[in-house]
Amino acid sequence: MRPQVVAHRGASHEIAEHTLAAYVAALDNGADALECDIRLTADGHLVCVHDRTLRRTAASRGLVSTMDLAELNELDFATWKNPWADLDDEAPDRDESLDGVLTLRKLLETVADYGRRIEVAIETKHPTRYGGLVEKRLVEMLRDFGWHHAGAPVRVMSFSFTALQRVERLAPEVQLVQLVDKPSYWPMLRRVVGRDWVLGPGISLLRDHHRVVESMARRDRQLHVWVVNHESDLELCLRLGVRAVITDRPSHILDLLERRERPAG
C-alpha cells in the first residue's frame, strides 16, 4: 500500500512554512494531507506557527502567546525564507495575501473547499502558558466543521501524552498520533498509549533504533513518520510498511513514489 504523503508545514522546502502559499502549493502538487502546528494567541485564536517566539519566521521579538491576532496580522511570515527575492528580476510575483499569519480556521476552510479529500494532521505544541485550553479550542473548532467523528479528515498529534488524553476525553472518535522523538521515551509510552492510537516516530528512530521501531509496529499499529525528505529515507519507510510520510518536499516524494509504480520499460 502506498503511504499517504503529508506536507509538513506545507511545501515548506520551497515556500515559507505555515503560510497559505505553502499549503496551496502542496495541494496543487498532489499532497494527500497537510500537517500543521498550532498555538493559541492572547485573544484566543489558533494560529499555525511552530516556534513559541516569532524571531525565526517573522523577525519579531514577540511571543505568539502574548500577541493578539491583529498584531500577528501586521507581521511578514514569508520574507525570511527568501530574503533576496526582491533583488531577483526573474522571481515570480508574490501574492502577499498568502504570506501572513495563518489561522487554523482558514486552513481548515481551505481544505473543506478543495476539490478532493484532503486530510489534516494537527500538532498541538507544548509546553504552553495556556495548557489544556489549546486542546479545548481545537476540539471546539473541529465540532464547528463536523470533524469530531470517526472518519473525519483530521487527526491530532502531540509529543505530549497528556495533551492527547485531553483530546480523547473531549472527542473520543478523533484519531490520535503520539509523536516520539527519543527512544528512551518508548518503554514508558508503550504502557499507556491507546490501543487505537497511531505512533509518530522521527526518521532518526527508524534509521538508528530498529528494535524500538519493531516494537512500535507490533499488533499492526500504524506508523506516521517525520520528516521524510530523501529517497533513502522513503525506501526505509516503504520497507517497514509506514502508513504516512510527513515531508517538507511533497512534490519530490510523490515523484519518487510515481517512479516506483511505473511499469519497467
Task: Calculate Rg over the CA atoms of the chain.
Answer: 18
* Residue percentage of the chain with pLDDT more than 70: 95
So which residues are the catalytic ones? 8, 50
Q: What is the pLDDT of residue 53?
A: 97
Q: What is the mean pLDDT of residues 40-55?
A: 97
pLDDT, tens digit (0-9, with 9 covering 90-100), for 49-90: 999 999 999 999 999 999 999 999 999 999 999 876 665 666
Query: Does 112 score more than 80 pLDDT?
Result: yes
Record the cell numbers describing residue 156, joined without a space.
Answer: 491530532
**What was the pLDDT predicted at 103?**
98
pLDDT of residue 87: 54
Q: Tell me if residue 149 falls in helix, strand or coil.
A: coil
DSSP SS3 for 245: strand
Residue 131 corresponds to which amino acid?
G
Range in 34-48, 76-90, 201-215, 223-237 the model is least confident about: 76-90
92 by DSSP, 3-state: which? Answer: coil
> 74 — alpha (psi -120 to 50), left (phi > 0) or beta?
alpha
| CA 155 vs CA 66, 234, 236: distances in Å | 27, 22, 24
Contact 94, 6 (CB under 8 A): no
CATH fold label, 4-41+102-261: TIM Barrel (3.20.20)
Which pLDDT band, with edges at 50, 70 and 90, does 100 fall under? very high
pLDDT greater at residue 86 or residue 103:
103
Residue 101 has pLDDT above 60, yes or no: yes
Residue 256 has pLDDT above 80, yes or no: yes
Task: Indicate if the pLDDT at residue 265 is higher than 80.
Answer: no
202 DSSP 8-state letter? B
Domain ranges of the chain: 4-41+102-261
pLDDT reading at 93 higher than 80: no
Confidence bin at 91 (pLDDT 50/70/90): low
pLDDT at 220: 87
User: How does the average pLDDT of the chain come out, rounded?
Assistant: 95
Q: What are the pLDDT digits (tens) for 133-173?
A: 999 999 999 999 999 999 999 999 999 999 999 999 999 99
